[in-house]
Amino acid sequence: MNTKLRSLAFAAALLLASVLTAQSREFKAGKSLDIQFSVLRELSLFYVDTIQVDKLVQTGINAMVESLDPYTVYIPEEDEESIELLTTGSYGGIGALIKKVDGGVEISEIYENSPAAKAGLVAGDIILRIDSLPTAGLNVEQCSSKMKGTPGVVVTFVIKKLRGGETKEIKIARERVHFPDVAYWGMVNDTVGYIRITSFTLDGAKDVKNAVVNLKKSGKIKRLVLDLRGNGGGLLDEAVNIVSIFVPSGTKVVSALGRQKQTDAIYYTKEEPTDTALPLIVLVNSGSASSSEIVAGALQDLDRATIIGTRTFGKGLVQSIRDVGYNNKIKLTTAKYYTPSGRCVQAIDYSNRNEDGSVGNIPDSLIRPFKTSKGRVVYDGGGIAPDVKIEAESYSRPSLSLLYNDILRDYSIIYFKDHLSIDSPSKFKLSDEEFEKFIEYAVGREFDHRTASEVDYDRLMATAKKEGLITELDSGLKQLESKVKLGKSGSIRINGKEIKALLEEEIVNRYYFQRGRIESIIRNDKQLKEAIGAELIKF
């Protein structure tokens, strides 16, 4: 056989192998679908109780996608509203959060400029009826579904007012409620500007650009902080648009590479920048994920910003929403994204995660070096490692317990009921006398008030009893017990500074909404203060 014939024979063999492989895949898929249909048929015909086949199929689909990664999810037709909220930051409703209470549902929070706010509703009002339907027999989800829906539709509420206690009928027309990506912007001191970005939804970059323009108008700004802490991400295009505010047009920001060529893309900035010289600080933590990591990683690789905080979450996956028929959709992972230096932000090992889901410890052998545009060395392995590491201040156990049990929130409503107005968010402070009233209230509520020391003491006691040492230690234990067993009021007082600050934030939120809460938070934000005072990288 000559060379030409051998080449033809080899090519034919490769083609045949490819065809057989494709046929094998198709056969296996067809076989699996036949088996699935047969199982469903047998269950629907012969299972001892009546079953709902559609729900059974949905359970199977959910289990199937959950086995792939944490981000691929099936979205049934009835959850279409969640797609709108995910991509636009908007939904049809009145703009209120609710919680179940005896006799109805309580308004837990009101969004600024929402239909609920315009109608005069406040946190602490009780909803007794929604469109003549009593709320006492409904759960939170049922009430929420009646409050949300098509904009323009009028919903009738019967409300027991927090202030005054009278019962009123209030009609509210639903509107398109929007959660802005920029939750707050302002000057934190004479020379440092601050922008808190909480998500990446449609046109969110315009809000960021508007904040930058307004901050620059003072002419005093010398540094700008972009706060991405706790920002779980969103639209990739908006991340690119935010980067474009600070780098020249035509700059490469991120690459997305998948199994199918149609999912591959390279994203460049298109708009002319607003400022390419203003020193930037990007503040991140383990809750900064996805699009947040694109912004942080790109600005780091382009030597445009100093990244400060702790390592980011490590989600370098791109999700696409695809139609699967009958108005049902699937949000599935189609690509991984790479920063300008070539780093993949995705954590190498899905299983190697911390309790909050963020990147765990990565062995040095699995970490590779990359270089920024000016030659600085950065590394992959999962998430974006900060240029300057500053740990966030942790909260005590009693503080977290008061927060998670809604005791701080509930008292803020009591305070709001008794005080028609308060000082501005940046100035409001509780007096010592007012804080003592809170302590008196909190002592009457159930919560785990034990400090970390008391928890350790309880463990020591349990171990000592098991080992039969309790009598030998008895004389010293009573003295130790008196120091660690503080009781409710004692545990609040010993952590009074942070608890008081948290309570002030809750109270400010009642009067000035989330915007005011953030302004109150940054007064006591130790991580932010250290970041502002940190020495920035000179590019």
Give the catalytic positions in this structure: 290, 301, 315
Which value, to the nearest 10 degrees, does the dihedral of the CA atoms of residues 282, 378, 231, 81 take? Answer: 130
Helix 470-484 with 452-466: angle, nearest 10 deg: 170
CA distance 242 to 258: 24
- Evaluated on CA atoms 236, 239, 245, 246, the torsion sign reads negative
Residue 155, strand partner residues: 172
Give the whole-angstrom CA distance, residue 419 versus residue 109.
17
**What are all long-range contacts of 48-54, with beta carbons under 8 Å and residues at least 24 apart?**
none
User: What is the residue whose two structure tokens read 């939170």?
Assistant: 140
Distances (CA, A) of 27 to 21, 374, 469: 10, 53, 68
The answer to whether 133 and 155 have CB atoms below 8 angstroms apart is: no
Token look-up 């990591």 returns 293
Specify the residue for token string 């009591």: 414
Q: Outline where DSSP puts E strands in 311-365.
A: 317-325, 328-338
116 touches 107 (CB < 8 A): yes
The beta strand positions in 375-448, using DSSP E, are 377-379, 388-389
Neighbouring C-alpha atoms within 13 Å toward the C-beta of 191: 7
Distance CA 493, CA 516 (A): 26
Q: Tokens 């463990």 appear where?
A: 459
**Of the candidates 244, 211, 214, 248, which has an alpha carbon nearest to the alpha carbon of residue 227?**
211
Compute CA 446 distance to the chain's CA centroid, rounded to the nearest angstrom. 28
| Residues 295, 195 contacting (CB under 8 angstroms) | no
In whole angstroms, what is the distance from residue 422 CA to residue 412 CA? 12
